[in-house]
Chain A
Amino acid sequence: MNLNKIWVLRIGLLFILFIFGPPLLFADNCSAPSDCFPTLTAAAVAAAAAGAFAGGLVVDLYRDWRRSQHPTEDEMLEDSANASVAD
C-alpha cells in the first residue's frame, strides 16, 4: 500500500481517534433528557440542529472532494466570476 496517498493519512488520523477514543466510556449522565433541556421543543431543536449540521457537513464534504478532484470547466468559470466580482 502506498502510504504517500493522502487518503491513507486521512483515514489513519480518523481511526487513531477511534482506536484511542473512549467510546467505551459512553455514559449518559443526564438522569433524564429534561435535565439537559428545559422543554421538549428545545430538545427537538437541538437534535434536529445536530442532524442538519452533520448532514450539511458531510454533503458539503462529498461535494468538496469531488470538486477538488475533478474541477470542471463550469467550476473554473464560477471561480473566474467570483474573481471578477472581486475586481
Chain B
Amino acid sequence: MAEPVVPPPKSPDSTSQVMSAPEAGRLMHFWSVRLPRVLDRWTPRLADSFADGAWLAGWRFMGLVPLLWLAVGCLTPWLWPGMQNIYSESLIFLALVIGMSIVSGTWATMLFLGYSLGDFLATRQYVSTHVRSMGFPALEIGWLAGHFLAYLLLALLVIRIPQLAKDLADGSLRPSERASPGVLRALRYGAIYAGLVFLWCQSMIVLIRPVFTWRNDIPTVAAVHQVQVEWPWLVGIAFVLAVARVMSEEARIRRSRFSPLVVELQGQRWEARVSRDPRSRSTPGLVRIVLGAGLITLILAGTYEQWTDAIAVFLVVAVLGAWRAGRLGKFPQRWISLMDKIPMWVRLMLAMLIGFVVSYAIQSPGWNRDNSFRPGMISALVTLALVHIAFPLTRREKQTEAT
C-alpha cells in the first residue's frame, strides 16, 4: 500500500502532536482515500460515503471499527432479536443504522454491506429448504427480489440521505454563511436530516411491502409498526446525532491534535473527487432518464397491484424526467428564477405539503370502501410531479447540459 504524502506541519508547536497517516493507521487511509478512489469510477456516491469517516482518524483502532460493523451486519439476520423477516422489524436496528450513517459513513456502509450479505445468505438458505414453487416467475425469485428491494431502500437511508441532507443544508447557504457559527449550521443540518428520516419512515410503510407481496405473503405488523408508529424515536435520534456530528467534527478539526491528519485525509479525498475522470461517467441523457424512471418504478413497487401500474409509473416518471431536461418543452424562465431563490429544503417541504393535501383528496372518496392501493400510487405520482416542478433545471445545469 502506498504511503500517503503527509504535508509538513505548519507550526513547530504541532510537530510533536501530529501523527502521520501511516502511524495513525494505514487502514484509515485505506477507508478514506484509497478505497473511495477505486469506487469513484463505478459508484461515486458509495465512494463519498466510505470517505465520510475520515473525521474520526487518529484514534486508536479506528481503522478496524468498520470491520466490526461488517461482522455485526452479517450476523444480524441470524442473531438479532425480533428480526424475523426484514430489518424494519427492529426499532433498535433501525436506530443503529441511522446513528451509524450520521456518525460515520464508513461504519454505516460496512454495516449495510454486512447486513445485505448476511440477509441474502439467510434468505437463500431459508428459500432453498422451505420454498418450492412451479412455473415462472418462481416464488423463490420473489423472495430474493423482495429482499433486494429492501436493501435498496436501506441503501437510501445509509448512503443517500446523509448526502442529500448535506446538499440541502449547504444548498441554502451562501459561501460566506458556510463559516457561520457551528451551532446554527448544526441545528439546520439536524432539522433537515430529521425531516428526511421522517420522509423515509413514512414512505417505508408502503415501499417495504414488496418484501412480502412478491412472495404472496402479507406484510407483518412488526415490519411496518416501527416506521409507522415508533418513527418519532428515529427522527429524534437523527436530529440529536446530526447536531452532535456537526459540532464534534468542527471541534475535532479546530482543536484536536489529530486535526492535521483529518484535514490531510479529507484533502486527499477532495483532490481525488475533483479529478474524477469525466469520460468514465459519460451516460447519454436519454439513458439517464430511462435509468431514473426504472429506479423509481422499482422503488414504488409497493404501491402496485398489476403490471399496468408499473408501466404507468415508468412512463410518467420518464416523461417528467424528459420534461425537466427540456426535451419536452421548457419551464417559464420566471418560474426557474423564483425557484432558484427558494432554499431546496423549503421547496421539498412545500412539495410534500401540497402533495399531502392532494393525496388526502384523492384517497378520501374510496377510504374504507375500496381495497385498492391505486389512489396511493396516484398520490405518490402527483407528489413526484410536484417535486419536479419545484426543482426545474437551473441555469447552471442547463449550461452543463449544453456542453
Q: A and B bound?
A: yes
Chain A residues whose C-beta falls within 8 Å of the C-beta of B293 in the assembled complex: 58
CB distance from B371 to the nearest CB of A (A): 4
B383 in contact (CB, < 8 A): yes
25 A-B contacts (beta carbon < 8 Å): A7-B291, A9-B42, A11-B287, A17-B149, A22-B142, A23-B214, A27-B216, A28-B372, A30-B371, A43-B376, A44-B379, A46-B202, A47-B355, A47-B375, A48-B352, A52-B355, A53-B200, A55-B383, A57-B295, A58-B293, A59-B391, A67-B400, A68-B281, A85-B178, A86-B266
Smallest CB-CB separation from B287: which chain A residue?
A: A7
Partner of A32, one of B149, B282, B325, B371: B371
Partner of B321, one of A36, A58, A79: A58
Smallest CB-CB separation from B178: which chain A residue?
A: A85
B307–A56 touching, CB < 8 Å: no
Known A-B contacts A11-B287, A48-B383; A33 and B317 likewise in contact (beta carbons under 8 Å): no
A44–B213 touching, CB < 8 Å: no
A1 in contact (CB, < 8 A): no
A3 in contact (CB, < 8 A): no
CB distance from A19 to the nearest CB of B (A): 9
B74 in contact (CB, < 8 A): no
B148 in contact (CB, < 8 A): yes
- Beyond A21-B214, A22-B214, A61-B295, list 14 extra A-B contacts (CB 8 Å): A9-B42, A28-B213, A28-B305, A30-B371, A43-B359, A45-B356, A46-B202, A48-B359, A50-B380, A58-B296, A62-B289, A68-B44, A81-B178, A82-B178
**Residue tally, chain A, CB below 8 Å to B:** 71
Chain A residues whose C-beta falls within 8 Å of the C-beta of B270 in the assembled complex: 79, 83
List residues 154-186 of chain B with CB under 8 A from any CB of chain A: 156, 160, 164, 167, 170, 175, 178-179
Chain B residues whose C-beta falls within 8 Å of the C-beta of A56 in the assembled complex: 164, 199, 348, 387
Chain B residues whose C-beta falls within 8 Å of the C-beta of A41 in the assembled complex: 360
A83–B267 touching, CB < 8 Å: yes
Smallest CB-CB separation from B229: which chain A residue?
A: A38
Smallest CB-CB separation from B44: which chain A residue?
A: A68
Which of A18, A30, A32, A55 has the most B CB atoms < 10 Å from its CB? Answer: A55
Chain B residues whose C-beta falls within 8 Å of the C-beta of A44 in the assembled complex: 356, 359-360, 363, 379
Bound complex: CA of A76 vs CA of B380, how far in Å? 35
Bound complex: CA of A11 vs CA of B302, how far in Å? 21
A68–B278 touching, CB < 8 Å: yes
Which of A7, A21, A49, A86 has the most B CB atoms < 10 Å from its CB? Answer: A49
A36–B363 touching, CB < 8 Å: no
List residues 1-35 of chain A with CB under 8 A from any CB of chain B: 5-7, 9-11, 14-15, 17-18, 20-34
List residues 207-233 of chain B with CB under 8 A from any CB of chain A: 207, 212-219, 224, 228
A24–B307 touching, CB < 8 Å: yes
B200–A33 touching, CB < 8 Å: no
Chain A residues whose C-beta falls within 8 Å of the C-beta of B352 in the assembled complex: 48-49, 52
Known A-B contacts A28-B372, A52-B387; A65 and B281 likewise in contact (beta carbons under 8 Å): yes
CB distance from A37 to the nearest CB of B (A): 7
List residues 378-394 of chain B with CB under 8 A from any CB of chain A: 379-388, 391
